[in-house]
Amino acid sequence: MKAYRVMELLIFIIFLYDILPSFYFRYCSSSVIKRFHNDNSIYLTFDDGPNPDYTLQILDLLREYNVKATFFIIAEKAEKHKYILDRIVEEGHTLGIHSYSHRSAWLFTPWQTRKDFRDSILALEKLGYKIKYFRPPWGVFNLFTNYYSNKNGLRSVFWTIITRDWDPNATVENTVNSVLSRAKSGDIIVLHDSNHKIDDNKGAPKNTIEALKIILPALKERGFCFQTIEDGMEGSKKVGKDI
């Protein structure tokens, strides 16, 4: 009976610390960016880079189609590939933080949560970049994630469209259909320019690149323009609309 009570208490703590905050910030909180209300704009974002094998190819493709995007980078990778960050910014894209090493917030204590933000921000500052935006790995929060995001001057960003393009078994067709069948004005789309593990390149981004060759011209033909998260924030301020 005592073990049962301990289990009940553990489940209750997990619910309060992990599950409830994730649900609240994903679906209820106005402090998190979930979509924009600017006309005819799409917000393309990439997670888990930078990756020298794939991010550069994606940048080439974005330049070819004159598309701007936002890259939510893993700070540990950024320390190894500053030249990729430099190119991202030089070509008019926006940088965001995707944690230091892509560990889930559900596995962090409050002190580890604080440290992850501190280490991520410090790493990017040493590379010469001050970041405004944060996307949590796996899209999950713990009780302290948004607190430390706000305390560090970051705005948390979710999405409206996400595909399984990170999965090595995902196909180009599935990624294309997942985006084109759902895309509408104001959507924030998540794709991946790397596997989240540091040296684990399983090839999934190759399919993402092939999918982009179809997605980008198709959305442009529909009359959409592509903006960064920073553009979306500036546009929202000008029209006086909430996000």
- DSSP string of 70-125? EEEE-HHHHTT-HHHHHHHHHTT-EEEE--SS---GGG--HHHHHHHHHHHHHHHH
- Cα 235 from Cα 55, distance rounded (Å): 27
| Amino acid symbol at 146 | N
Radius of gyration of the chain (CA): 18
- Cα 101 from Cα 112, distance rounded (Å): 12
Q: Is 150 helix (H, G, I), strand (E, B) or coil?
A: helix
Per DSSP, what are the bridge partners of residue 71? 46, 95
Reply yes or no on whether 196 is catalytic. Answer: no
Give the active site residue among 18, 47, 193, 231.
Answer: 47
- Cα 43 from Cα 64, distance rounded (Å): 17
Reply yes or no on whether 93 is catalytic. Answer: no
Query: 35, 70 in Cβ contact below 8 A?
Result: no
Give the active site residue among 187, 192, 193, 196.
Answer: 192
Closest among 203, 215, 208, 207 to 191, alpha carbons compared: 208
Per DSSP, what are the bridge partners of residue 41? 225
Active-site residue numbers? Answer: 47, 192
